[in-house]
């Protein structure tokens, strides 16, 4: 997800106006901008007593975590993880197949097909869900399956896009070179195409996982309250007052696992895979 | 199948024939075509005028009321009366011909003319009022929400694009510190908006973290959360989406911008000129695409205005979801209408955005 | 628009590198002269241009233009234009606006900048392409626009960083003519970088040979070819003949016999370097020495004939000498022929 950065030339470095001091200040401001909202979350997660005028917590404790555990943190964690994994497992291969077939279609048909596949991005998720909810109820689809189905549809644009851009940068001549070096069709797929597309696959799966892991609106409307995922628990905590500790703890449990996953993805990439 | 020609009607053995269909097939087809033509033309015209009238009624508080009253008044008039009135208006020696001062000859034959103009006019006139009132009825409540949603989306997009571009320029320019900024901005991408909204709540609420840091916990601190300007909502969107905008720009520029900045420098472009004359125009397509995505997303997102926004006027998604979940059965269609409004607003934004983008590409 | 450039003891190292790319380099380019930096890739020649342009700050040393030290002057205020290997035309501007870029940066109105730009486009014969976009140009056209854009800056110095290396040979000839034309009309001071010794010879008055960050020799084009300072210089300029031997008192003795060489060479082991272009084949017994033909290689209009010197010497490996002769001589492998060259121009380098 982080684009590879080249060493910027000095002309670029001196392009930032404001001199060395200004540049440092701007860097600090940007880092502050991106981290600021998560600072109170981190503090509240370990705060015990933290009454109004105090800038920092007066006492620290794990209270928030124990109250989260007692209010169903672990089942919610499991439900979210399963939902995320389910979406990733379904949407990744579907996205790959869609991207490959778009690539093979003549341009005239490829355009509209791609448009349809990317359409869920253009439709507000709540509208999509409200419309589909009626259909799902009529068809007697169980709530959990309905949620999964809708989230796969929501995730598809991302996975298709990931594979589309990976395939756009992918040169078929790699495989042709492999064939001319004596690899069979299967071998060229196994030893050339798959390794070259690993990065795109992991990125697509990560995005699809995020769609399931962090979803609120689909679970809310289609799940009908039966599916207690982490965001559902968090939303009920955050919408009421006086739940700062619980909100913070739940926020961290939602945020940290994907970040760990992202770091792991980046670290494996650094070990010499082609992007 | 129709009964064939039987001498005494309805007696004797029934025979079947296609005679009535085929004997005058030309005339039948012609009548069908004329009816279809009239219906299509009238519908098109009625919808166009009706939509324009509805837009006017919704946009203008006073004059709109008058237009609404007049159009409502035309609803109870039967079509027969309408047809008579249109005849008086449009016939060869009718009212319009006299006004225009061409009673004999010169005036086109609307009534009984080749294009059925008078018929189409009558239908369009009466049905446009119907269309306008239906649209107004279904939209009136959503328009407030639409305005709020558009305001939030526009403000968030503007802020996200500004900060995102600044961050991207910094990431591209600074070798070490840029990497750190890239890492923190990438780290905000996987955070769901719901969590972002919760976090911004902890930060910006009346007794929140910022109020405590600034030392004004009671009173004095402006109401960002649920405040009149939707500041907390806009801040949350700008925060998360600026990271997205920054990474899109960095991704699209990382390869080319270094060399081009070198070239610009040797051609005499000062540092700030390199940003405004090279980096910004190069980033513009990426900025426009990501800005469009942010705009459409924020227009249709529910969680953030729900947690951080005001109750009245409601943002479109909040209103739709509330109505959808309401026990009152009547509110379901209203919820659907609201959803449709936000889908349409999104579609208009996308089409407009794409046209703008094409222009932008054309400029290059 | 021409100034004198002096580079004084310049050293440079990239932050992520282990070794200096430039080691203590000094070079002077007189006003209106053209100098080619010739070297293999990785020899640091492009870095030297970037240092001169101010795009890299050298770790040590000075860049002087007309005697003025440019340390601390940013690239945009140096008045030094650089034409890059990749044309780097701004994709958001059309051809004329690319050329007008520097005038716009200097604050001139769009109209005035464009009018001036059109003159430079005329110089590179691309006036008809003024309103095209960069992606509508061919590689040669792009590079010409890039050259016009650099000239429109009216630079004190024009730096060319292998600008023609990606063009095919015919386009390259056109560009050589264009550069000659520009030199006649504007007389700019030019420093160019190339790995093509022919290009360096055609475009430059003098050549500086760079190898692993050092300047091995700087001198006029013929001097580099016929009187190289070292074996490395001879090789970089494409010299093929290196006859091992011994110098005593200005006389080089080798398989070719005793030959008077220049006085400046030290006594001891030395190689006789003879450009293959100056070697003639004559009938056996009438030349400096006889040899048997070891290989015949066609080079198009010329033929490269390599001989093994065969005068009973026991030198191992056998001494070889190559001659580039016009046309396709009627010779066969193993044939004994005489080798002749101008003995008075003999040149030796110490090994």
Helix axes B177-188, B117-173, angle to 10 degrees: 140
Local confidence band at C220 (pLDDT 50, 70, 90 cut-offs)? very high
For residues B294 and B241, the answer to whether their CB atoms sit within 8 Å is: yes
Residue of A51, A124, A136, A259 to mutate when probing chain B, most B C-beta within 10 A:
A124
- Residue B364 is predicted with a pLDDT of 47
How far apart, in Å, are the Cα atoms of C163 and each of A135, B313, C81, C84, C141? 64, 63, 13, 6, 12
Residue A79 has pLDDT above 60, yes or no: yes
Determine contact: C111 vs chain B, CB below 8 A: no
CATH 3.40.50.300: does it fit domain C5-225? yes
Q: Which residue has the tokens 């951080």?
A: B308
The class of domain C239-350 in CATH terms is: mainly beta
Decide if A10 and C16 are in contact by the 8 Å CB cutoff: no
Nearest to A11 among C15, C16, C55 (CB): C55
Is there a contact between C16 and A14 if contact means CB atoms under 8 Å apart?
no
Judged by CB atoms closer than 8 Å, whether chains meet at B178 and A5 is answered as yes
pLDDT tens-digit series, residues C308-327: 886 665 656 778 899 998 88
User: Which residues on A lie below 8 Å from C55 (Cβ)?
Assistant: 9-11
Closest chain A residue to B236 measured between Cα atoms?
A: A37
End-to-end Cα spacing for chain A:
10
Q: Is pLDDT at A3 greater than 60 in this prediction? A: no
Q: Which residues of A187-207 are buried (b: 16+ CB within 10 A; e: fewer)?
A: ebeeebbeebbebbbbbbbbb
Inform me whether the pLDDT recorded for C230 exceeds 70: yes
Residue C319 DSSP one-character state: P
Average pLDDT over chain C reads: 89
Partner-chain contact B266 C55, CB within 8 Å? yes
The pLDDT, as a whole number, for residue C83 is: 92
Long-range contacts, A59-68 (Cβ 8 Å, 24+): A63/A245, A64/A245, A64/A246, A64/A248, A64/A249, A65/A249, A67/A245, A67/A246, A67/A249, A68/A246, A68/A249, A68/A250, A68/A253
How close does chain A come to C48, measured CA to CA in Å? 15
User: Which of chain A's residues have a Cβ under 8 Å away from the Cβ of C56?
Assistant: 10
Which residues does chain B have within 8 Å of residue A58's beta carbon, measured at their own beta carbons?
none
Q: At a CB cut-off of 8 Å and minimum separation 6, what does B334 contact?
A: B138, B141, B323
Task: Provide the ipTM.
Answer: 0.87
SS3 of residue C303 by DSSP: strand
Looking at chain B, which residue has its C-alpha nearest residue A16? B271
Chains that touch B (3 or more CB pairs under 8 A): A, C
- Smallest Cβ–Cβ distance between B261 and the set A4, A15, A41 belongs to A15
**Predicted pLDDT of residue A55:** 80
CB within 8 Å: A10 and C56: yes
Query: What's the pLDDT at A268?
Result: 73
Segment C122-174, tens digit of pLDDT: 988 899 999 999 989 998 899 999 999 999 998 989 999 988 888 888 888 98
- CB contact (8 A) between residue A39 and residue B209: yes
Residue with tokens 């854009």: C149
Positive or negative, the CA dihedral B222, B227, B228, B233 is positive
pLDDT digits (tens, 9 = 90+) for C182-191: 999 889 999 9
Sequence spans of domains, chain A = 75-227
Nearest CA distance, B364 vs chain A (angstrom): 22
Name the token pair of C26.
């000094």
* Residues B217/A52, Cβ–Cβ less than 8 Å: yes
Q: What pLDDT, on a 0 to 100 scale, did the predictor assign at position B357?
A: 85
Tens digit of pLDDT for each residue in B90-140?
887 778 888 887 766 677 778 877 788 888 888 888 888 888 877 777 666
Residue of C nearest to A9 (CA): C55
The confidence score (pLDDT) of residue B10 equals 53
DSSP assignment of A92-123 equals HHHHHHHHHHHHHS-HHHHHHHHHHHHHHHHS
In chain A, which residues have their Cβ closer than 8 Å to the Cβ of B300? 123-127
Do the chains contact at B254 and A37, CB–CB below 8 Å? no
Which partners does chain C have (≥3 C-beta pairs < 8 Å)?
A: A, B
Listed in order, the ranges of chain C carrying CATH 3.40.50.300 are: 5-225
Q: Residue B123, CB half-sphere, CA atoms under 13 Å: how many?
A: 17
Report pLDDT for B215. 80
Q: Of C76, C91, C93, C136, which to mutate for an interface test with B (greatest number of B Cβ within 10 Å)?
A: C76
Lowest mean pLDDT among A232-236, A262-266, C211-215, C271-275: A262-266
B140-363: CATH number? 1.10.3720.10
Q: How confident is the model at residue A2 (pLDDT cuts 50, 70, 90)?
A: very low
Query: What is the number of CB-based contacts under 8 A between chain A and chain C?
Result: 9
With beta carbons less than 8 A apart as the criterion, state whether B269 and B278 touch.
yes
Q: Are B204 and B224 in contact (CB under 8 A)?
A: yes
Question: Would you state the pLDDT for residue A23?
Answer: 84
Nearest-angstrom CA–CA distance, B38 and B29: 14
Q: Point out which residues pair with C272 in neighbouring strands.
A: C243, C348
Q: Which residue blocks in C218-320 are alpha helix, DSSP H? A: 221-226, 231-236
C55: helix, strand or coil: coil
Where do the H-state alpha helices sit in chain B?
A: 19-22, 25-59, 61-74, 79-90, 95-99, 117-173, 177-188, 193-204, 209-213, 231-253, 257-266, 271-274, 280-299, 303-308, 316-325, 331-363
Residues B316 and B341 sit within 8 Å (Cβ to Cβ):
yes
> Which range among A13-22, A42-51, A69-78, C225-234 shows the weakest confidence by mean pLDDT?
A13-22
Cross-chain Cβ contact A11/C16 below 8 Å: no
With an 8 Å Cβ cutoff, is C77 touching chain B?
yes
Closest CA to A11 of C325, C291, C76, B79: C76
Instruction: Sort out which chain B residues have CB atoms less than 8 A from A245's CB and list them.
Output: none
Instruction: Determine, for residues B258 and A43 on separate chains, whether the beta-carbon distance falls below 8 Å.
Output: no
Chain B residue numbers touching A240 (CB-CB < 8 A): none
Cis (ω within 30 of 0) for the bond into C317?
yes
pLDDT in the model for residue A11: 64
Q: Which position has the higher pLDDT, A154 or B13?
A: A154
The three-class DSSP label of residue A255 is helix
Given this structure, which CATH class describes domain A75-227? mainly alpha
Closest to A160 in 3D by CA, of A107, A235, A92, A216: A92
Answer yes or no: do C77 and B264 touch at CB < 8 A.
no
Q: How many angstroms from the chain centroid is the CA of residue B272?
A: 38
Find the residue in B nearest to A263 (Cα): B187
Return the top range by mean pLDDT from A221-235, B204-218, C86-100, C316-330: C86-100
How big is the CA angle at A96 (ends A93 and A100), to the nearest 5 degrees? 140
> In chain C, what residues touch A7 (CB-CB under 8 Å)?
15-16
List Cβ neighbours of B327 (8 Å cut-off, separation of 6 or more).
none
C-alpha distances (whole Å) from A60 to each of A42, A43, A48, A57, B203 are: 12, 9, 4, 7, 19
Task: Collect all residues of chain A within an 8 Å Cβ-Cβ radius of residue C81.
Answer: none
Q: What is the mean pLDDT of residues A155-167?
A: 89
More confident residue, B48 or C218: C218
Q: Considering only residues 126 to 185 of chain C, which have any Cβ-Cβ distance to chain B shorter than 8 Å? A: 133, 149-150, 153, 159
Question: Contact, C336 vs C287, CB < 8 A?
Answer: no
Q: Does B62 touch chain C (CB under 8 A)?
A: no
Length of chain A: 275
In angstroms, the CA B194 to CA A216 distance is 7
Task: Confirm if C216 and C47 have CB atoms less than 8 A apart.
Answer: no
Nearest chain B alpha carbon to C152: B267
Q: Using a CB–CB cutoff of 8 Å, tell me whether B362 touches chain C.
A: no
Which residue's entry shows tokens 């005068």? C311
Q: Residue A170's CB: how many other CB atoms inside 10 A?
A: 18
Per the structure block, which two tokens stand in for C178?
A: 């264009």
The low-confidence residues of chain B, meaning pLDDT below 50, are 1-7, 364
Which H or E run includes A125? helix A125-138
Tell me whether residue B167 is exposed, middle or buried, using C-beta atoms within 10 angstroms of its C-beta: 0 to 12, 13 to 18, 19 or more: buried
Res A273 pLDDT > 50 = no
Residue C55 confidence (pLDDT) above 50: yes
Q: Which residues of A touch B259 (CB under 8 A)?
A: 9
B307 to A11: CB separation less than 8 angstroms, yes or no:
no
Other beta carbons less than 10 A from residue B55's beta carbon? 15
pLDDT of residue A272: 45
Inter-chain residue contact A34 with B293, CB threshold 8 Å: no
Which residues of chain C have a Cβ shorter than 8 Å from any chain A Cβ? 15-16, 55-57, 74-75
What is the average per-residue pLDDT within C292-308? 90
C77, pLDDT greater than 60 = yes
Token pair recorded at residue B25: 């097939």
């Amino acid at each position: 997800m982080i684009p590879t950065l080249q060493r910027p030339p000095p002309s670029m470095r001196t392009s930032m106006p404001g001199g060395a001091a200004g540049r440092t200040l701007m860097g600090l401001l940007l880092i502050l901008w991106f981290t600021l909202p998560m600072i109170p979350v981190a503090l509240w997660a370990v705060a015990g007593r933290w009454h109004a005028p105090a800038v920092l917590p007066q006492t620290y404790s794990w209270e928030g975590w124990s109250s989260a555990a007692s209010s169903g943190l672990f089942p919610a964690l499991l439900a979210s993880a399963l939902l995320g994994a389910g979406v990733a497992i379904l949407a990744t291969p579907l996205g790959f197949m869609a991207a490959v077939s778009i690539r093979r279609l003549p341009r005239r048909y490829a355009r509209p097909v791609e448009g349809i596949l990317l359409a869920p991005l253009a439709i507000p998720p709540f509208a999509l869900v409200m419309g589909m909810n009626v259909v799902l109820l009529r068809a007697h689809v169980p709530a959990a399956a309905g949620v999964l189905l809708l989230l796969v549809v929501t995730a598809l644009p991302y996975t298709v896009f990931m594979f589309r851009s990976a395939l756009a940068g992918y040169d078929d001549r790699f495989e042709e070179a492999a064939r001319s070096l004596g690899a069979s069709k299967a071998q060229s797929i196994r030893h050339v195409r798959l390794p070259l597309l690993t990065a795109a696959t992991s990125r697509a799966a990560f995005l699809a996982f995020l769609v399931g892991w962090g979803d609120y609106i689909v679970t809310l409307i289609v799940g009908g309250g039966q599916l207690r995922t982490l965001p559902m628990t968090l939303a009920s905590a955050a919408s009421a007052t006086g739940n700062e500790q619980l909100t913070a703890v739940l926020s961290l449990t939602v945020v940290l696992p994907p970040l760990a996953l992202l770091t792991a993805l980046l670290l494996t990439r650094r070990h010499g895979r082609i992007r | 199948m129709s009964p064939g020609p039987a001498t005494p009607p309805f007696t004797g053995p029934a025979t079947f024939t296609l005679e009535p269909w085929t004997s005058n097939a030309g005339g039948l087809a012609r009548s069908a075509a004329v009816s279809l033509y009239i219906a299509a033309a009238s519908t098109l015209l009625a919808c166009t005028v009706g939509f324009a009238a509805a837009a006017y009624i919704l946009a203008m508080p006073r004059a709109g009321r008058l237009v609404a009253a007049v159009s409502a008044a035309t609803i109870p008039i039967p079509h027969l009366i309408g047809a008579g009135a249109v005849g008086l208006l449009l016939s060869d020696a009718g009212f319009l011909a006299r006004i225009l001062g061409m009673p004999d000859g010169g005036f086109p034959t609307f009534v009984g003319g080749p294009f059925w103009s008078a018929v189409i006019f009558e239908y369009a006139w009466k049905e446009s009022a119907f269309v306008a009132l239906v649209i107004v009825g279904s939209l009136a409540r959503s328009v407030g929400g639409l305005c709020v949603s558009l305001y939030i989306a526009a403000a968030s997009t503007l802020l996200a694009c500004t900060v995102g571009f600044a961050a991207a320029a910094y990431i591209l320019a600074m070798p070490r510190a840029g990497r750190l900024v890239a890492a923190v901005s990438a780290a905000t991408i996987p955070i769901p908006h719901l969590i972002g909204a919760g976090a911004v709540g902890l930060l910006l609420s009346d007794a929140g973290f910022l109020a405590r840091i600034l030392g004004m916990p009671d009173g004095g601190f402006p109401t960002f959360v649920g405040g009149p300007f939707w500041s907390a909502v806009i801040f949350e969107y700008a925060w998360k989406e600026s990271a997205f905008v920054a990474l899109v720009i960095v991704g699209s520029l990382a390869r080319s911008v270094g060399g081009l900045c070198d070239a610009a420098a040797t051609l005499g472009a000062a540092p700030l000129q390199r940003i405004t004359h090279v980096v910004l125009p190069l980033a513009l397509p990426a900025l426009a695409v990501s800005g469009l995505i942010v705009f459409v997303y924020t227009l249709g997102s529910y969680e953030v205005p729900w947690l951080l926004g005001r109750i009245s006027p409601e943002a479109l998604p909040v209103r739709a979801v509330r109505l959808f979940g309401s026990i009152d059965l009547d509110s379901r269609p209203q919820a659907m209408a609201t959803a449709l409004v936000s889908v349409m607003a999104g579609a208009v934004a996308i089409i407009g955005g794409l046209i703008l983008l094409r222009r932008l590409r054309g400029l290059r | 628009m021409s100034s004198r450039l002096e580079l004084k003891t310049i050293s440079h190292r990239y932050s992520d590198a282990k070794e200096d790319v430039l080691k203590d380099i000094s070079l002077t380019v007189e006003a209106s002269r053209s100098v080619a930096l010739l070297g293999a890739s990785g020899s640091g020649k492009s870095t030297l241009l970037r240092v001169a342009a101010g795009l890299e700050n050298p770790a040590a040393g000075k860049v002087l233009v007309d005697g003025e030290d440019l340390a601390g002057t940013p690239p945009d205020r140096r008045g030094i234009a650089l034409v890059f290997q990749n044309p780097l035309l701004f994709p958001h501007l059309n051809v004329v606006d690319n050329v007008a870029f520097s005038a716009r940066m200097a604050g001139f109105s769009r109209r005035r900048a464009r009018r001036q730009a059109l003159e430079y486009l005329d110089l590179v014969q691309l006036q008809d392409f003024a309103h095209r976009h960069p992606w509508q140009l061919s590689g040669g056209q792009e590079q010409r626009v890039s050259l016009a854009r650099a000239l429109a800056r009216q630079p004190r110095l024009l730096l060319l960083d292998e600008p023609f290396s990606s063009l095919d040979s015919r386009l390259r000839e056109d560009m050589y003519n264009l550069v000659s034309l520009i030199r006649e009309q504007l007389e700019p001071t030019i420093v160019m970088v190339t790995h093509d010794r022919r290009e360096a010879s055609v475009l430059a008055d003098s050549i500086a040979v760079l190898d692993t960050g050092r300047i091995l020799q700087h001198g006029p084009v013929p001097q580099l070819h016929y009187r190289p300072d070292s074996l490395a210089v001879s090789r970089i300029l494409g010299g093929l003949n290196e006859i091992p031997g011994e110098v005593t008192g200005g006389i080089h003795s080798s398989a070719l016999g005793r030959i008077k060489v220049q006085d400046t060479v030290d006594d001891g082991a030395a190689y006789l370097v003879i450009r293959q272009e100056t070697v003639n084949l004559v009938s056996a017994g009438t030349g400096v020495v006889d040899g048997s033909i070891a290989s015949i290689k066609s080079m198009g209009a010329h033929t490269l004939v390599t001989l093994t010197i065969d005068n009973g010497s026991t030198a191992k490996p056998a001494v070889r000498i190559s001659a580039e002769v016009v046309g396709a001589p009627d010779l066969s492998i193993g044939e004994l022929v005489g080798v002749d060259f101008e003995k008075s121009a003999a040149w030796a380098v110490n090994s």
